[in-house]
Amino acid sequence: MVSPNLIKALEAVIGAENVFTSEADRQCYSYDSAVLKPTIPAVVLRPTRTEQLGELIRLCYDAGLAITVRGSGSNLSGGTVPDTSDSAVILTNSLQKILEINTSDLYAVVEPGVITAQFAAAVQAKGLFYPPDPGSMSVSTLAGNICENAGGLRGLKYGVTKDYVMGLEFYDYEGNLVKTGSRTVKCVTGFNLAGLMVASEGTMGVISKAILKLVPPPRASKAMTAEFADVQDAADAVAAMIAAHVVPCTLELLDNASLKYVEADQKIGLPTDAAAMLLIEVDGHPGQVADEAAIVEDVLKKCKATAIHVAKDDAEKNKIWAARRNALPALARARPTCVLEDATVPRSQIPAMMKKLNEIKAKYDLQMGTFGHAGDGNLHPTILTDKRDKEEFARVEAAVDEIFDVALSLGGTLSGEHGIGTAKSKWMEKETSKGTILFSERMRRACDPKGLLNARKITGYSHE
């Protein structure tokens, strides 16, 4: 329960129209994109100016109200689901100003709620490039991307969100404004607190401003697809490209099941008999693109690709990428519930991982398709189910547990880009160490003495 006095105080900061207390409104902030149990918050706050963030945090924290910050709620690991019903959800989606795009110094300054795709488009309009492109970019917010360290298709060559964060401003639990980083390429003034905030999933503070790095756009690109009769051949091709010193900007894989689901849904003429298909794009200077495309083609042939298709123009390139873009929708349409995982393994372990995934699928008798970022080993085994079917969903949960076990045994990681949230927190110690959990918890106690900032997320927080 939130006291009427606190409501009044919150309304004084952001206006009554931005304090949502009705049951219907609160229920709409009880979930995110993760398949998890919803928790209905006590109040939802929508600041319209970044300066209001500090005051809201101070008021909630003093009153002992838990705080979950939410951008667009597209999170896949439960990071934006409130911890308890005694929570305030703070929305950043009315803090959407792009404050500066600096084309001489190659950076931009943004408010936390700017939508990733809109930012990328604004940057492109100024002749520059912001590469991180998570699958939810049409709705995801930049601060959400930072707090999850979101990746995307371009990770292999261009890196992920953390590689573009030059500086941040955020509010701590007392509502103090903290500044870190700068508009300069080099900056060693103080702790790298921006690094701490990246992937912090709302546990350390609330971002109010970000300085993001921009790069010049590639001048040319070329896309192609290759089909394989064996996943091992596809993985060999990936390794051989890297060994030949070609780093494609995107290097995606669809397994046989995914190809079948996409083809059944879209009828775009995909090879449903192939064991795997790779989608490859190289970009850069036109001369370099031509050279690299030739090397890639050569590698594909040597690695026993059964068919290679090079896009002749933009229309053909779009057709190639339609297959990849439609992978998740096609899988999602097959059954009501879609459990999308992102266990990641070293590139060389992709065939072993794919083999294990197929074994798990058979063992638990589940529908599953796997696609993902072959270039960086970030696979998306996607289980299709119906969460209302308790017996089947229990098998799904057992299969997910085993997927994590396998990924870790292959030297991989629990999550490449979706975050830990509450969905994977129980696995944290298994991948890291007891010391890691202890260290994290001590650090969290210093930054959040009452354990109110998304306390159940990542490592959890013992309240005794």
Partner 1 sequence: MSDISRLASTLMKLDDRLADCMRCGLCQAVCPVFGVTRKEADVSRGKLALVDNLAHKIILDVDAVEEKLNRCLLCGSCQANCPSGVSILKIFMEARQALVEYRGLNPIKKLVFRELLTRPSLFSAMLRMGAPFQGAVMKKRSAKTYDLPLFHKLIGDRHIAKLPMRSLHAKYGDLKVPSKNGITVLFFAGCMADKYYTSLGEASLKVLKHHGVGIVMPSKLTCCGIPALASGDRPGFVMQTKKNLEVLAQSMVMGDGIDYIVTPCGSCTATLKEWWTHFAPEFTPAEQRLIATVAEKTMDINAFLIDVLHVDEKPKAAPSGKVTKVTFHDSCHLKKSCGISAQPRKLIGMNPNYELVEMAEADRCCGCGGSFTLFHYDLSKEIGQRKRNNIVATGAGAVSTGCPACMLQLTDTLSRNMDDVKVKHSIEIYAETLPD
Binding residues for partner 1 (CB under 8 A): 20, 22-25, 27-33, 35, 38, 46, 72-74, 91, 93-94, 115, 117, 136, 138-139, 328-329, 332-333, 336-338, 386-388
Locate 451 and state its tokens.
Answer: 């354990």
Residue type, 269: G
Query: In this complex, which beta carbon is closest to partner 1, that of residue 33 or of residue 145?
Result: 33
Task: Say how many CA atoms lie within 13 Å of 105 toward its Cβ.
Answer: 14
DSSP state at residue 455: T
Phi–psi pair at 230, nearest 5 degrees: -140, 135
Task: Indicate the pairing of strand 87-91 with strand 66-70.
Answer: parallel
Give the DSSP H or E segment for 89: strand 87-91
Q: In what order do the strands lie in the sheet with 165-171?
A: 98-102, 107-110, 206-213, 165-171, 177-181
Q: Which residues pair with 19 in a beta bridge?
A: 45
We find the least distance from the C-beta atom of residue 121 to partner 1, in angstroms, to be 11
Min dist. Cβ of residue 330 to partner 1 (A): 9
Nearer to partner 1, 22 or 104 (CB): 22
DSSP secondary structure string, 13-30?
HH-GGGEE-SHHHHHTTS
Q: What is the spatial distance between Cα 342 and Cα 378, in angstroms, rounded to a whole number?
A: 6
Q: Which two tokens stand for residue 447?
A: 């930054």
Nearer to partner 1, 229 or 393 (CB): 393
Residue 208 CB, shortest distance to partner 1, in Å, is 18
Q: Residues with Cβ < 8 Å from 220, sequence gap 6 or more? A: 283, 284, 285, 286, 289
Tell me the CB-side half-sphere exposure of residue 434, using CA atoms within 13 A.
Answer: 0
Minimum CB–partner distance for residue 68 and partner 1 (Å): 14
Nearer to partner 1, 72 or 415 (CB): 72
Smallest gap from Cβ 314 to partner 1, in A, equals: 17
Q: How far is the CB of 338 from partner 1 (least distance, A)?
A: 5
Is the CB of 46 or the CB of 380 nearer to partner 1? 46
**Token pair of 64 as six digits:** 């002992």
Given the complex with partner 1, which of 336 and 449 has the nearer CB atom? 336
C-alpha span between 143 and 276 (Å, rounded)? 35
Give whichever of 333 and 395 is closer to partner 1, judged by the CB atom: 333
Residue 101: strand pairing partners: 108
Angle between helices 314-325 and 256-266 (to 10 degrees): 110
Q: How far is the CB of 35 from partner 1 (least distance, A)?
A: 8
| For helices 350-363 and 231-243, angle between their N-to-C axes, nearest 10 degrees | 160
To the nearest whole angstrom, how small is the minimum distance from the Cβ of residue 278 to partner 1?
23
CB closer to partner 1, 94 vs 182: 94
Nearer to partner 1, 31 or 164 (CB): 31
Q: How far is the CB of 31 from partner 1 (least distance, A)?
A: 5
Residue 395 backbone dihedrals phi, psi, to 5 degrees: -65, -35
Q: Residue 121 corresponds to which tokens in the numbers above?
A: 């488009």
Cβ distance 333 to 258 under 8 Å?
A: no
Measured CA angle at 272 (ends 271, 278), to 5 deg: 55
Rounded to the nearest whole angstrom, what is the least distance from the CB of residue 80 to partner 1 in the complex? 10
C-alpha 326: how far from its chain's center? Answer: 18
The residue (of 319 and 387) whose beta carbon lies closer to partner 1 is: 387
Closest approach of partner 1 to the CB of residue 28, in Å: 4
- Of 46 and 356, nearer to partner 1 (C-beta) is 46
CB 300, CB 253: distance < 8 Å: no
